[in-house]
């Protein structure tokens, strides 16, 4: 059992929890909790840490003991685990996972794809919610610009509730170029924009579709918005001018799902 917070492995975990640059350099991310561990692809798992005394709880979850035996784990004292954890009430299990690699070109080969293109989203919770909702709505992939929050931020990972393991995503330094690739491959690009003249449900999204979603406060940049084929808007009552980015993305993704599967 690891009982010292000075242990090199413990110090490395703490560094990864706090520094995006270190996570990126190591090509890893962290996930906590039994649900996240249970859903994590085994081939992604590099290390697993259990808090002292949590083994009985783990053995009560179907398949958990078997998975732990296959991937291996280390036990740490409760005090050390609290230091390693990013949560206020740790469940007692933490895993280190390698980052997956996805290709936009491969995603474009999927018939009638549905993409979200995220520009400068800052809130980790918003991003995690978009990934989770994207899985529910059947999104093909999420494309993120360099200014968007770190997908591998522990808060973002928690907010995905496991969807990060199943929703493909691509990070790019040049969103404009990515949008150009979408259009070259027959994907129609829509900007959720205050200047939209038609409501979102007046468009047909049965073919390849991508939605541009901008920063929570500033919206889309003029440069990226200009690359859209069409602007669209969501009805607003009262004095509300715009919606939360995750809410906007959810409404649009589920309209695509409705058109393709429910009518």
- What is the pairing mode between strands 45-51 and 93-98? antiparallel
Distance CA 143, CA 169 (A): 6
| pLDDT at residue 243 is higher than 90 | no
Closest CA to 131 of 113, 149, 146: 149
Q: How far apart are alpha carbons 205 and 202 in whole angstroms?
A: 10
Q: What is the pTM of this model?
A: 0.92
Q: How confident is the model at residue 215 (pLDDT cuts 50, 70, 90)?
A: confident
> Which distant-in-sequence residues (6+ apart) come within 8 Å of 32 by Cβ?
85, 86, 87, 90, 91, 93, 94, 95, 154, 158
Instruction: Note the pLDDT of residue 207.
Output: 97
Q: Domain boundary at 79, 98, 117, which?
A: 98
What is the number of other CB atoms lying within 10 angstroms of the CB of residue 100? Answer: 13
- Asked whether residue 70 falls in the same domain as residue 135, the answer is no
Query: Does the pLDDT value for residue 150 go beyond 70?
Result: yes
Joined together, the tokens standing for residue 89 give: 């009430």
Percent of the chain predicted with pLDDT > 70:
100
Relative orientation angle of helices 245-261 and 124-137, to the nearest 10 degrees? 0
CB under 8 Å to 95, separation ≥6 — which residues? Answer: 30, 31, 32, 36, 37, 40, 45, 46, 47, 48, 49
Structural tokens at position 38: 């249970």
Do both 122 and 244 map to the same domain? yes
pLDDT of residue 101: 95
Q: Are residues 60 and 164 in the same domain?
A: no
Query: What's the total number of domains in the chain?
Result: 2
Q: What is the pLDDT of residue 245?
A: 92
Cβ-in-10-Å burial (0-12, 13-18, 19+) of 223 comes to: exposed
User: Of 36-40, 86-90, 137-141, which range is least confident?
Assistant: 86-90
Give the domain-ending residue among 98, 119, 141.
Answer: 98
pLDDT tens digits, one per residue of 156-184:
999 999 999 999 999 999 999 999 999 99
43, 118: one domain = no
Domain extent for 147: 104-261
Mean per-residue pLDDT, 90-114: 96
- pLDDT at 210 (0 to 100): 98
Whether 147 shows a pLDDT value over 70: the answer reads: yes
Residues 6 or more apart whose Cβ sits within 8 Å of residue 89: none
- Band (pLDDT 50/70/90 cuts) for residue 263 is low
Mean pLDDT calculated for residue range 54-81? 93
């Amino acid at each position: 059992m690891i009982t010292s917070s000075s242990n090199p492995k413990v110090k490395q975990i703490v560094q990864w929890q706090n520094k995006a640059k270190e996570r990126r350099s190591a090509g890893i991310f962290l996930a906590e909790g039994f649900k996240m561990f249970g859903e994590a692809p085994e081939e992604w798992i590099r290390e697993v840490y259990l808090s002292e005394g949590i083994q009985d709880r783990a053995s009560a979850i179907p398949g958990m003991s078997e998975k732990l035996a296959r991937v291996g784990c280390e036990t740490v004292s409760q005090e050390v685990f609290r230091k390693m954890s990013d949560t206020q009430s740790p469940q007692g299990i933490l895993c280190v996972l390698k980052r997956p690699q996805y290709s936009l070109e491969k995603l474009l080969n999927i018939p009638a794809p549905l993409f979200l293109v995220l520009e400068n989203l800052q809130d980790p919770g918003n991003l995690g919610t978009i990934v989770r909702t994207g899985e529910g709505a059947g999104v093909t992939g999420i494309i993120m610009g360099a200014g968007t929050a770190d997908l591998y931020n522990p808060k973002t990972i928690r907010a995905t509730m496991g969807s990060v393991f199943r929703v493909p995503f691509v990070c790019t330094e040049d969103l404009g170029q990515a949008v150009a690739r979408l259009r070259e491959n027959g994907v129609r690009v829509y900007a959720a924009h205050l200047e939209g003249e038609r409501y979102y449900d007046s468009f047909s999204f049965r073919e390849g579709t991508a939605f541009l979603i901008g920063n929570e406060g500033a919206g889309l940049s003029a440069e990226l918005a200009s690359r859209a084929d069409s602007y669209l808007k969501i009805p607003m009552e009262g004095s509300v001018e715009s919606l939360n980015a995750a809410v906007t993305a959810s409404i649009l993704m589920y309209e695509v799902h409705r058109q393709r599967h429910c009518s």
